[in-house]
Amino acid sequence: MSLDQFRLDGRIAAVTGGARGIGFAIAELAATAGADIAIIDILEEGSDSAARLEAASGRTVRAYRADLRDPVAARAVAEDVERDFGRVGVLFNCIGINPNTDVLEIPAEEWRDVINVNVNAQFFIAQAFARQMARNGGGSIVSIGSDSGFIVDKPQPQAHYNTSKAAVHQMVKSMAVELAPHKIRVNAVAPGYVLTEMTRRGLSNTEWVKLWEEMTPMKRFAEPSEIANVMLFLASDAASYMTGSIVLVDGGYTCW
């Protein structure tokens, strides 16, 4: 047994939502572990993030802008990445949004948007890269779920987000079963509260922050790097017998 099992030397890793937050954290870590990186994001800042990471890591890093809610766009960007890099062995699927709206007030458009981004877009890009992996001898897909896929977080109103993350967990398990014969492993990390750009808007509500910290046995939020560490493990050969797993990384939040 060797620690080399935790590395990604010689591999190509695609990272959706890689412009910032958990996505950028895993892009950084995967590059440190020896992978070349394709950052896929709808945000323009993906290009700056890619340039910064390439300069810091010495790895080849490219940015691709795409709206993954569109299955045609998802297939096209996956083809672009394969054309530019060759065989993609790892997909880190980190896209997601989380508006807070009372269940009695959620507009149909907002409900659809959450499901489209958190579930449909994750599926379309995973399907596109899984087709390549099946053709090329296998690979690993690691998605971002949430503790909200197991419990109803409080006090924030987010029925659509909770629903979407439960769907992601079941999608990961279903894909894991069907893709195992193709030597493709599919797993997810389910974070608790993480200090990212997406969660910072909730930090302005001091009562929410106080409650979240009190309900977390470790009494703090996670750093994006702490989620990325687990994602790297799941993608690596060190997790070669893991598929269909949803790994909670929540500081003990769901233990109560």
Evaluate if residue 198 carries a pLDDT over 80: no
Average pLDDT of 3-23? 97
Counting residues of the chain whose pLDDT is more than 90, the rounded percentage is: 93
pLDDT of residue 114: 98
Whether the predicted pLDDT of 200 surpasses 80: no
pLDDT for position 43: 95
Report the distance separating Cα 175 and Cα 243, nearest Å: 9
Which contiguous run of DSSP H or E holds residue 182? none
Residues catalogued as catalytic: 161
pLDDT tier at 202, thresholds 50, 70, 90: low
With a cut of 70, say whether residue 201 has pLDDT above it. no
Residue 256 pLDDT grade (very low, low, confident, very high; cuts 50, 70, 90): confident
Domain ranges of the chain: 3-249
Q: What is the pLDDT of residues 120-179, one digit of tens each?
A: 999 999 999 999 999 999 999 999 999 999 999 999 999 999 999 999 999 999 999 999
Show the DSSP H helices in the chain as ranges.
21-32, 46-57, 71-85, 108-115, 122-136, 159-179, 197-200, 206-215, 224-235
- Mean pLDDT across the chain, nearest whole number? 96
Q: What percent of the chain has pLDDT over 70?
A: 97
Is the pLDDT at 47 greater than 70, yes or no?
Answer: yes
Whether the CB-CB separation of 46 and 52 falls below 8 Å is answered with no
Q: Of 25-39, 81-95, 184-198, which gets the smallest average pLDDT?
A: 184-198
Q: Summarize the confidence of residues 207-222 as an average pLDDT.
A: 94
Give the mean model confidence (pLDDT) for residues 201-220: 87
Task: Look at residues 75, 119, 74 and name the one whose alpha carbon lies nearest to residue 95.
Answer: 119
Residue 101 has pLDDT above 70, yes or no: yes
Can you identify the CATH homologous superfamily of domain 3-249? NAD(P)-binding Rossmann-like Domain (3.40.50.720)
Q: What is the mean pLDDT of residues 17-35?
A: 98
Report the alpha-carbon distance of residue 209 to residue 212 in Å, rounded: 5
Strand partners, 123: none
Choice among 48-62, 90-104, 113-127, 197-211 with the minimum mean pLDDT = 197-211
Query: Is there a contact between 202 and 100 (Cβ–Cβ < 8 Å)?
Result: yes
Which among 150, 146, 159, 157 has a CA at the least distance from the CA of 93? 146
Residue 72, Cβ density class (10 Å: 0-12 exposed, 13-18 middle, ≥19 buried): exposed
